[in-house]
Homo-oligomer: A and B are copies of this chain.
Amino acid sequence: MDTLFYWIDHLGVAVFAISGTLLAFRKNMDGFGVIVLASVTAIGGGTVRDLILDLPVFWAHDPSYLYSILVAAFATIIWLRFREYIHQRLLQSADALGVAFFTLMGANKAMEAGFSPIICVVMGTITACFGGMLRDVLARDIPMVLKSELYATTCIIGASIFVILQPYAPVVAVLAGGFSTLLLRFGAIRWQWSLTVFQPHGDQHR
């Protein structure tokens, strides 16, 4: 299962690198801006997770993640020079896949290191959400995760399902956690679910 997880991890890294490259494109950044945004989105969440859990930062000892980022960013740049457009729906699907992968990977890594269940859920969420948050802060957007439909709530629910089932049936836990994250995310995008806790009060810009 470790090999499977390794490839899922690389796939997640590539998907998020594409998302960072697209934001750099929208903001008219140069080549290095692309690499920074792609890298921060792809490995920022996992880096924060590893630092907090005091584990070796995953990409510092396995540079292959950096190659995945470069390939994904380069392919996206080539695509954009010919098409200047990526279908929004396609991107959201890729992003939802990345979120599902990273939530599982993050929660799993914390479980293997023996942390308590709530910390594992938090780490799944951090792995999936912090990269995008750093990307948005660097590009001076309001972090999507703080505003948009159920982005992180999705991760919390998916990671919780995985963490609860994992001790009993690891494979079921992966499938149940992954698919619930995916379905919730697609549902949230499709029907614009949101978790409103405050009535709109009209002084957003105060």
Contact = CB atoms under 8 A, between A and B. Distances in A.
Given A32-B152, A36-B146, A47-B52, A197 B27 contact: no
A55 to B, nearest CB: 9
A57 to B, nearest CB: 5
Interface stretch (A6-14, A95-103, A112-120): A112-120
Contact of A118 (B47, B63, B118, B195): B63
Interface in A119-150: 119, 122, 133, 137-140, 142-143, 145-147, 150
Contact of A28 (B29, B143, B200): B200
Interface stretch (A76-84, A169-177, A178-186): A76-84
Interface size class of A (residues with CB under 8 A): 35 or more
A196 interface: yes
A164 interface: no
